[in-house]
Amino acid sequence: MKISNTYLQLGTAFSESINPLPVADPHLLLWNLSLADQLALSQGLPDNENALAQLFSGNDLLPEASPIACVYAGHQFGQFNPQLGDGRAHLLCEFVDDHQQRWDLQLKGSGPTRYSRRGDGRCALGPAIREYLMSEALHALGVPTTRCLAVVTTGETVYRDLPKPGAVVTRIASSHIRVGSFQYFAAKGDVVSLKTLTDYTIDRHFPTLKAAANPVLELLGAVMDKQVTLIVEWMRIGFIHGVMNTDNTAISGETIDFGPCAMLGIYHPGTVYSSIDSGGRYAFGAQPSICRWNMARLAEALLPLIDEDQDKALAQAEALIADFSPRFEQAYQTMLGAKLGLDEIQQTDVALITELLEQMQEQQLDYTQTFHQLTRSLTEQQIATKLQDTLGNWYGQWRQRIGNDSKQQQAAQALMQQSNPVVIPRNHHVEAVLQACELTNSSAPADALLKVLRSPYQMLAETADYQDLPTDNDRHYQTFCGT
């Protein structure tokens, strides 16, 4: 395990050097063996649970680690906050895997820092397990995401609305550079640090851009493309992030910060579950436009580096941001086409797709189930008949578009099977598992759900236990930030 601390080396303007605050009685609850194997971490780590618990609670430190809390700013629900930062997280170190890919190793819930404001620096067990479950689910579904290596219970109580067991979650991310990281220096007018961060980001994530005529403008375009891909993937599986503030938008294009996230059940673009999002700013269907808004904030922050002539810089950035919607729309239609077995979108397909979504909304159909049933209907007559009843003429039109040839149908079904999960981390199941883990102080309920979520395109023997819809269709479901 090759450990380094390159972000620390950017200088004291970027972070505070601070160690995690030890916890009373750490126990390893969840350990992500497949991630540890994939990153070849095991060689550099102790092989017993106690030692791992000490390490991933922050009680022990790897000898080469030099923990920091990173500073950033951010628009939270549209309001700019000039200084946020890791208020309960410690970036322990970075390491480079066997494929020369650099990763951040970060603890969350590991104690207060300079950026804690009024917070206690801690994390409750429920949100820690949620982050682990949801990120593993997303990863298995093929969605770019940060992942969790471990959840350690601390033996301490944290006080939220009620007293809760505390936990520390270990996050692996390709970096923790956020849109808000750039905003922080831009707002301070610290162009030197802004340039340092930009060069570092290009070096770390987009090294090929170094040779471009205008690397900063290209960086903006590249981040935009990553974000388009990410949001399209969220929309494909029905993921609602819930708090798409600019400080929760990673430059790498990975999903980050799973606070009040949830899954879409019945299709409705206005779906929002977060208790703090009363205006629906971060509703399911609002995610693309919010992403564009966030990219515009990144563009603003980068203006001083795009061109010395700020009018020119603005014109170039605006032209790029104007291209967000066409880029998104194309990727979005391609994705929906694939969900319907179409590997190429023709002009009339857009209407076909739109009509299905309208019908799903009107008839209050479940997003995941509908696409799964459509997939199966290509080979199962009973399901086809049922869908014909539900969807009327639309169903026949769609089948006609697929074609009658069995080769065409096979190809369509194969594409649909890759695009439409048979199971997602449904809100009621995730909640039940969090409660059961908390109550029993064991990982068994999470392990059972994880087994299914790790094969989301396949029917395992246990999959059926997790496919059902909630009895109230999540009408009363609410998520909380968990801070």
Which residues are marked as active site? 247
Cβ nearer to ligand AMP, comparing 72 with 367 = 72
Q: Which is nearer to ligand AMP, 269 or 482 (CB)?
A: 482
Paired residues of 17 in beta bridges: 68
Beta carbon nearer to ligand AMP, 115 or 282: 115
- Please tell me the distance from the alpha carbon of residue 419 to that of residue 375, in angstroms, as a whole number: 10
Q: Which does 85 bind (CB under 5 to 8 A by kind): ligand AMP, Mg ion, none?
A: ligand AMP
CB 421 within 8 A of CB 463: no
Instruction: State the nearest-atom distance from the C-beta of 37 to ligand AMP, in Å.
Output: 29
Burial 212-238 (b: 16+ CB within 10 A, else e): eeebbbbbbbbbbebbbbbbbbbbbbb
Among candidates 266, 223, 259, 265, which has minimal Cα distance to 241?
259
Distance CA 62, CA 55 (A): 7
Q: 71 and 115 in contact (C-beta within 8 Å)?
A: yes
Locus of tokens 């700019």: 80
Among Mg ion, ligand AMP, none, what does residue 481 contact (CB within 5–8 Å per kind)? ligand AMP
**Least Å from the CB of residue 91 to ligand AMP:** 12
Query: CA-CA distance, 131 to 147, in Å (whole number)?
Result: 8
Asked whether 201 and 219 are in contact (CB, 8 A), the reply is yes
Q: Cβ 124 to ligand AMP, closest distance in Å?
A: 9
CA distance 478 to 471: 15
Least distance between Mg ion and beta carbon 249 (Å): 10
In whole angstroms, what is the distance from residue 133 CA to residue 128 CA? Answer: 9
Say whether residue 483 binds ligand AMP (CB under 6 A).
yes
- Measured distance CA(50)–CA(155) in Å, rounded: 14
Contacts to ligand AMP from residues 34-93, by CB under 6 A: 84-88
Q: Which does 260 bind (CB under 5 to 8 A by kind): ligand AMP, Mg ion, none?
A: none
Residues lying near Mg ion in the complex (CB under 5 A): 248, 257
Q: Hey, what are 475's tokens?
A: 């009408």
Question: Has 120 been labeled as part of a binding site?
Answer: yes
The contact mask relative to ligand AMP for 91-130 (x = CB under 6 A, - = no) is ------------------------xx--xxxx--------
Closest distance of CB 469 from ligand AMP, Å: 29
Q: Which helix (H) or strand (E) covers residue 322, if one does?
A: helix 310-322
When binding is defined by CB under 6 A, the residue of 186, 217, 232, 243 that contacts ligand AMP is: 243
Provide the Cα torsion 477, 231, 121, 116; round to 10°.
Answer: -120
> Is residue 248 annotated as involved in ligand binding?
yes
Q: Are the CB atoms for 221 and 110 separated by under 8 Å?
A: no
Closest by CA to 415, choosing from 371, 446, 454, is: 371
CB contact burial 452-472 (16+ within 10 A = b; e otherwise): bbeebbeeeeebeebbeebee
The closest residue (CB) to ligand AMP is 119
399 is in an annotated binding site: no
Spatial separation of the C-alpha atoms in residues 88 and 31, rounded to whole Å? 21
- The entry of Mg ion, ligand AMP, none near residue 328 (CB within 5 to 8 angstroms by kind) is none
Q: Binding residue per annotation — 475?
A: no
Site residues (CB under 6 A) for ligand AMP, limited to 141-180? none
Here the tokens at position 291 are 């992403």
Residue 231 beta carbon to ligand AMP: minimum distance, rounded to whole angstroms: 18
Which CB, 251 or 422, lies closer to ligand AMP?
251
Query: Cα(273)–Cα(188) distance, rounded to whole angstroms?
Result: 35
**Nearest residue to Mg ion on Cβ basis:** 257
**Cβ-based nearer residue to ligand AMP, 247 or 474:** 247
The item of Mg ion, ligand AMP, none sharing an interface with residue 288, based on CB under 5 to 8 Å by kind, is none
Residue with Cβ nearer ligand AMP (14 or 115): 115
Q: Show the site string, 376-415: x = touches ligand AMP by CB under 6 A, - = not.
A: ----------------------------------------
Q: In angstroms, give the least distance from the CB of 113 to ligand AMP.
A: 8
Residues recorded for the chain: 483
- Taking Cα atoms as reference points, which of 228, 194, 180, 177 lies closest to residue 76? 180
Give the SS3 label for residue 132: helix
Residue 203 Cβ vs ligand AMP, minimum distance, rounded to whole Å: 25
463-482 positions binding ligand AMP, by CB under 6 A:
481
119 binds, among Mg ion, ligand AMP, none (CB under 5 to 8 A by kind): ligand AMP
Distances, alpha carbon 263 to alpha carbons 114, 133, 249, 426, in Å? 34, 13, 19, 6
Comparing CB distances to Mg ion, the nearer of 57 and 255 is 255
| C-beta of 150 vs 243, nearer to ligand AMP | 243
- Which positions make up the binding site for ATP? 85, 87-88, 108, 120-121, 171, 178, 257
Q: Under the rule (CB under 6 A), what is the footprint of ligand AMP? A: 84-88, 115-116, 119-122, 243, 247-248, 257, 259, 481, 483
- Which positions make up the binding site for Mg(2+)? 248, 257
